Amino acid sequence: MLIDFVPTVGGVSLAEAPAFKKAPGGAPANVAVGISRLGGSSAFIGKVGADEFGYMLGNILKQNNVETSGMRFDSNARTALAFVTLRADGEREFLFFRNPSADMLLQESELDKDILKQARIFHYGSISLIDEPCKSAHLAAMSIAKNSGCILSYDPNLRLALWPSADSARKGIMDIWDQADVIKISEDEITFLTGGDDPYDDNVVLKKLFHPNLKLLIVTEGSQGCRYYTKAFKGRVAGVKVKPVDTTGAGDAFVSGILYCIASDQTIFQDEKRLRKALYFANVCGALTVTERGAIPALPTKEAILQFLLEAAVI
């Protein structure tokens, strides 16, 4: 979890931005808040600095009913910062301040093992795999969760600028690939992980990215919706048309939606009709998030989702 600094005006480079506004960020934290907003029960495990920004992030999680007993505060390192802008050409530009930041310093001994053992689903990204000691803590958490019967959910959330090289990113992300039960990736990540293959080719996805232990592989396609692959079936669920304001957090909202559905019904992987319904629910979560600015402020409640579904059905 970190602080994103976002320009007060859109369509400019970081250098051109006249001023920045702070916003809570970090994909796993966004997912935890998203699940809580939907009425689910979630906890966050991670480390921030024992500083104003770190305490602010902890308070934001508490305000959103996310369990924070697994959160640690480091008095020797600062909370991570990221300056993020959406340029006029639509590309996001990142500048990270983490040398090292508190999130990189989470140690295995600081893990709240009870939370991991209680969870139905353990969700994680790949940024925590880049540096030690956080990498070892991450791997240990996966092991504890798996041994406790948890479903492991993985969103690589590629941030190439944080890895030493493209090759190390590819290897780091793929090293834990075959341990996940659920994986969510984007089209760009398919191209990157396969070394340039066509992200729209089912054969590429099935041969290079699907693995025998996988219960569900999801490829998100932004406003176009998503594709899904299980051992028994594959298909596509169309996206939802909305007027986008800010795409930040849309992928995390989607993940919140599908994990909320899986936590409620773990037989969903065997029932294509129910899985499609859950993926449509997740698509709506992502779509509603882009209609407002920021990630956490824009994450929808279950009431907002049901209202949207009701209105869509009436139309």
Q: What pTM was computed for the model?
A: 0.95
Return the amino acid letter for 160: L
Question: Residue 81: inside a domain, yes or no?
Answer: no
Q: What is the CATH number of the domain that holds 296?
A: 3.40.1190.20
At residue 262, the pLDDT reads: 98
| Coil, helix or strand at residue 137 | helix
Sheet containing 182-186, strands listed edge to edge, beginning at the edge strand earlier in sequence: 121-124, 151-154, 182-186, 216-220, 225-229, 234-238
Question: Residue 169: inside a domain, yes or no?
Answer: yes
The confidence band for 84, taking pLDDT boundaries of 50, 70 and 90, is confident
The confidence band for 295, taking pLDDT boundaries of 50, 70 and 90, is confident
Question: Residue 286: inside a domain, yes or no?
Answer: yes
At residue 93, the pLDDT reads: 82
Total domains in the chain come to: 1
Burial class (CB in 10 A: 0-12, 13-18, 19+), 241: exposed
At residue 57, the pLDDT reads: 98
pLDDT in tens, 172-214: 999 999 999 999 999 999 999 999 999 999 999 999 999 999 9
Over range 210-219, report the average pLDDT: 96
Rounded Cα–Cα distance for residues 255 and 1 (Å): 16
pLDDT in tens, 3-36: 999 888 888 889 999 999 999 999 999 999 999 9
Question: Residue 228: inside a domain, yes or no?
Answer: yes
Question: Residue 94: inside a domain, yes or no?
Answer: no
The confidence band for 87, taking pLDDT boundaries of 50, 70 and 90, is confident
Question: Residue 163: inside a domain, yes or no?
Answer: yes
Q: Which two tokens stand for residue 248?
A: 């930040």
C-alpha separations of 112 from 1, 34, 79, 312, 314 in Å: 17, 21, 20, 42, 46
Rounded Cα–Cα distance for residues 63 and 189 (Å): 33
At residue 312, the pLDDT reads: 79
pLDDT in tens, 41-60: 999 999 999 999 999 999 99
CB contact at 8 A, 186 and 156: no
Query: Domain containing 36: what range?
Result: 27-75+108-313
**Average pLDDT over the chain, rounded to whole?**
94
Does the structure show a pLDDT above 80 at 86? no
Question: Residue 101: inside a domain, yes or no?
Answer: no
Rounded Cα–Cα distance for residues 74 and 10 (Å): 34
Q: Which two tokens stand for residue 209?
A: 């990215």
Angle at 65 between CA 101 and CA 113, to 5 degrees: 60
pLDDT in tens, 102-134: 999 999 999 999 999 999 999 999 999 999 999
Among 260, 225, 245, smallest CA distance to 298 is for 245
Burial letters for 75-114: b for 16+ Cβ neighbours within 10 Å, e otherwise?
eebbbbbbbbbbeeeeeebeebebebbbbbbbebebbbee
User: Within 13 A of 272's CA, how many CA atoms are on the CB side?
Assistant: 11
Residue 148's CB: how many other CB atoms inside 10 A? Answer: 14
Among 217, 197, 213, 307, smallest CA distance to 258 is for 217
Return the amino acid letter for 75: S
The confidence band for 315, taking pLDDT boundaries of 50, 70 and 90, is low
- The residues, any chain, with a CB within 8 Å of residue 87's CB and separated by 6 or more, are 11, 12, 13, 93
Question: Residue 91: inside a domain, yes or no?
Answer: no
